[in-house]
Amino acid sequence: MNRNAYVCCLAALLFLTMMAQGAAIITGTVYVDARSGNDANSGRSPKAAWKSLEKLNNTTFGPGATILLKAGCRWTGSLHPKGSGTAAAVITLGMYGKGPKPLIDGGGLVGRGVLCLHNQEYWEISHLELVNFSPEPGDRRGVEINAADYGTVNHIYLRDLDIHHISGIVGHGDKEKRTAGIHINTLKDKVKATRFNDILIEGCHIHHIENQGIATNNDVSVSNYPGTPEWEARKLTNLVVRNNVIHHISKNAMIIRLTEGGVIENNLCYETAIAITGNTIFSRTVKGTVFQYNEGFLNRSPDADGSLYDPDINSPGTIWQYSYSHDNAHGLVWFCTDKKDDSIVVRYNLSVNDRGALVYFNYPFRGVAVYNNVFYIGRHRAPVIIREKSTASHTYSFENNIIYNLGQKAVYGLAVDGKGKQERHFGHNIFFGLHPEGEPGGTKLVTDPMFINPGCMFPDIKGYDGYRLKAGSPALGAGKPVPDDGGRDFYGNKLETGAARSIGIYEGTGITVPAGRKLPD
């Protein structure tokens, strides 16, 4: 008998043993009340609620089951219920009653998450609070979803979770990077190819975490280049990470690994890299994933990295768009790519008062397009506006961007010579304000783009329109058309096929500002 057949037979034997011992599989609704419950109860109504995590952890739930924890209650330990749902009947874990979200406190436990699922699928989990604080560093996670030699794990939805004060391990190594608020991970896949599909992380509040906010991973390998058979067997498909607030993170807000497609959008990330270097959101060994409508500020990285975005090693075809970066240790994007990486697009983003390197072409790549972005540099900022690593080869275009520079100490860091080869094209950009030595050439304008209110700090990515263009702006219609440009601008204006393109993030008509109008700061 081969090993796969043996594993299947063993699973069947275990199921039959459980049935013979009377271990029922729960498919209805179970209520759990830490104050008034009793594990001897049926659990089938709020008045007959169970009490403990132990009761839940020793129970197998089946398709259509619902587990409801009472609002305002608190448990200590780890929740790891058993069982899986189906596509037609998922298992739901949430809360009932009025009051604060049910709180599960890990109490300093190590080696697992406060909430764990292992080789389980078709779960929807929401409205819980998870903490695991300790004065000592340790191998800790808020939510841990893992699989080993399982196959495809489908449909894990995490919504409206408050995950905070997870005392992990600060550092750059694999052990440290496994400590996180939410960690999705393949542990083993040698016996059976194992990967995840249809993963949603939405509306969660993740803060005061060591070391990562959200991370996807494969312990066996994260190095297989996208498109190879090994990567196909390990890739995560249909990932959506949206509308989360992530802050006070010792390193990265997110590490997105091994995805094909998927979208990371409308996330608010601040106070990141507060203990160690790190970019706020970065990808690794992904293909075609879209990062959009995110806001990142106050990345505190003490040295390298420190940008909002990082298309990291093996990130071909990724798109980074419609996002707002401001007041970070570095700037909008920091390329830590592979020399084979191609078709990376950075477009319609806004950088305001970032420090460090605003765009850093660091590791080598085959092809990058940076277009229709705005970089505003205030009087008291001294960034490297564009930086190239001279020992790496880069082929890129930089078009339709606006550099609005008021910083007297701002500089350019284009490589003059070195081991790397720089094949770059600059065109249809506007450079306004101060002009440091080494400013790129090509077709360009050196004039005021006539923003509505440059330098303004609006409350969020959907807020004030200070970087729209006034009527008569030289940027209107002066840009170069770009194929497959995403179909809309930073503000949501539709890009009409064949129409002229403007320079910057605004593609609408010029705005007439009435005389005497007071604009907000």
- Has this prediction a pTM greater than 0.85? yes
Show pLDDT as tens, one digit a residue, over the chain (521 residues).
Answer: 454 444 344 344 444 444 433 458 999 999 999 999 999 999 999 999 999 999 999 999 999 999 999 999 999 999 999 999 999 999 999 999 999 999 999 999 999 999 999 999 999 999 999 999 999 999 999 999 999 999 999 999 999 999 999 999 999 999 999 999 999 999 999 999 999 999 999 999 999 999 999 999 999 999 999 999 999 999 999 999 999 999 999 999 999 999 999 999 999 999 999 999 999 999 999 999 999 999 999 999 999 999 999 999 999 999 999 999 999 999 999 999 999 999 999 999 999 999 999 999 999 999 999 999 999 999 999 999 999 999 999 999 999 999 999 999 999 999 988 889 999 999 999 999 999 999 999 999 999 999 998 987 655 555 568 899 999 999 999 999 999 999 999 999 999 888 889 999 999 999 998 765 544 44
Find where tokens 């990077």 sit: 177
Element (H, E) at 30: strand 29-32
In three-state secondary structure terms, 308 is coil
Of 443, 444, 394, 431, nearest to 415 (Cα)? Answer: 394
pLDDT value of position 3: 46
322: helix, strand or coil: coil
CA atoms 291, 346, 185, 212: torsion sign: negative
DSSP 139-172: SEEEEEEEEES--EEEEEEEES-EEEEE----SS
In angstroms, how far is the first alpha carbon of the chain from the final one? Answer: 73
> Where are the domains positioned within the chain?
1-100, 346-521
